[in-house]
Structure 1
Amino acid sequence: MTDTAHPHPDPELERLVAERTRELTEMLAWQANCWDDERRQLARQLHDSLGSSMTALTMHLALLSQHIPAENKSMRDRSAQMKTLLNGIIETNRKMQLELWNDKLEFLGLKAALAELVPAFGTEHGLTANASLPEDDSPYTREVGALLLRCAEEGLRNAAAHAQASRVDVILDDDGEMTMLTVRDDGVGPGADALTGGPNTCRGLRLLRERARFLGGDLVLKTADGGGAMLQMTVPREQVA
């Protein structure tokens, strides 16, 4: 009798599926890297053009304000309002640059970028946010450094927006073979289908997972010991050099 319940796999079909999966992973990784390059270039343009122009305007306004007579209170008040407005634009521009691309990653390394990102995020969102980082700042390629930083950002956003967490820890570690970035919170825990394509799928996490797999690593999301979510990305050490 022919066993129709458990048909034998077709080796050629399996090969085609594996090849197609590899091609899609490569395409997603290439596209994500292009996005990062575009974000980096846009952040640099905002810094070089808009940022420098706003700083120059602030200096010109300060010089003009010195020539306003002390008795002209209305003009002095207007000058103060303009200064406050310009400072607000400069701060908004700075935040936009940081969201697009963290220059500390490129010039000071991943450790410095995380050391700034994590506590600042905690302050902004009312969370207790801690970063546990190695003493030595190992060299990372731009691709790997950006990927690990994006993972930290995604984990932090999830803790603040969805997990109802009050505390989040970001841990960067290296066991000599794998580099590991872990984001752990004390919130409600991950959805069962957050990485599997269900209705609660986080597409940002799935894209990060495909980028990690392209580099020979992986991304997992699971319930941490004691509750809460644990997002962990691993990348082979040979990719980090």
Structure 2
Amino acid sequence: MTAPDPQHLDPELERQVAERTAALTELVAHLMNSWDDERRLLARKLHDTLGSSMTALTMHLGLLSKGLTDAKALDRAQQMKTLLGGIIETNRLVQLTLWNDKLEFLGIKAALSELVAEFGQEHGLTARVSLPDDDDAYPRAQGVALLRCAEEGLHNALQHARAKTVDVILDDDGEQLMLTVRDDGVGLARPAPPESLRCHGLRLLRERARALGGSVALGRVEGGGTALTMILPRRAG
């Protein structure tokens, strides 16, 4: 069967397709916002309950250790301090994975700076970030989308591109925001148009951007490497 010519589609069918696409985009945006809110709430609960309790236990253990004189007891107390310290750090990393508080309290620039610095240290890569000079505030939905784009780009650079250097660049020309994650890895075998973003992570990014009136593109870098770019229309915070 021959596919219908897109230029000769029935107007009513075109209207129905447009309405259906708009409804699906709205639904996806709602689901992602709900997902983000749940992650934020869970991270806050971990901070306020588990994190606070572990910190308090560490302080109490320190006070109890001051009254110990037995060498074995002191050694056991130190082991417990070390164990509690590991739990506190793990809890912090889980919180950060779920939701970056710096995004909410200090803005996207602080969140990106922390993300890129910790990524480079953890994986032994040269990870650099370039940010606008102005300290403009952006809506939370835009900040979340930009941060998720950075996370996806860094993950892909590590897992697929086998890169040694990654640059995360945020540009703001007053009309639109553009976040680019560029690496020096193996690159793409051929150009990747937007509709070829079949990885679930990239597809979610595309839907996030689309819900905000923006777009996502994956392309090759001249000289080798890959660039993941998200463009969003500029909106006041």
Q: Same fold (TM over 0.5)?
A: yes
What residue is the counterpart of 1:45 in the other structure?
45
SS in 2 for 1:33: helix
Out of 141, 149, 158, the position equivalent to 1:143 is: 141
What residue is the counterpart of 1:85 in the other structure?
83
Partner Cα distance (1:89, 1:194) in 2: 44
Matches within 5 A, 1:10-89: 10-69=10-69, 72-89=70-87
Partner Cα distance (2:133, 2:10) in 1: 51
What residue is the counterpart of 1:223 in the other structure?
220
1:32 positional shift: 0.6
What residue is the counterpart of 1:211 in the other structure?
208
SS in 2 for 1:187: coil
AA matched with 2:165: R
SS in 2 for 1:231: strand
SS in 2 for 1:168: strand
Partner Cα distance (1:175, 1:234) in 2: 11
SS in 2 for 1:68: coil
What residue is the counterpart of 2:120 in the other structure?
122
Partner Cα distance (1:158, 1:194) in 2: 17
Structure 1 range deviating more: 188-197 or 174-183: 188-197
SS in 2 for 1:182: strand
SS in 1 for 2:14: helix
Partner Cα distance (1:184, 1:234) in 2: 14
- TM-score, structure 1 as length reference: 0.92
- Cα deviation per residue 1:186-209 (whole Å; 9 max; x = unaligned)? 1112476695468xx211111111
AA matched with 1:232: T
Contact 1:217 1:233 in 2 (8 A): yes
- Cα deviation per residue 1:158-215 (whole Å; 9 max; x = unaligned)? 11111100000000001121111110001112476695468xx211111111111111
Distance 1:180 1:216, change over 3 A: same
Structure 1 unmatched runs, 5+: none
Q: How many residues align?
A: 233
AA matched with 1:29: A
Structure 2 unmatched runs, 5+: none
What residue is the counterpart of 1:180 in the other structure?
178
Partner Cα distance (2:205, 2:130) in 1: 21
Contact 1:190 1:221 in 2 (8 A): no
AA matched with 1:216: G
AA matched with 1:146: V
AA matched with 2:116: V
- Cα deviation per residue 1:120-168 (whole Å; 9 max; x = unaligned)? 1011111100000111121111111111111111101111111100000
Partner Cα distance (2:3, 2:111) in 1: 54
What residue is the counterpart of 1:169 in the other structure?
167
- TM-score, structure 2 as length reference: 0.93
Partner Cα distance (1:28, 1:97) in 2: 24
AA matched with 1:140: Y
SS in 1 for 2:178: strand
Confirm or deny that 1:233 pairs with 2:230.
Answer: yes
Partner Cα distance (2:89, 2:231) in 1: 34
Out of 85, 94, 97, the position equivalent to 2:95 is: 97
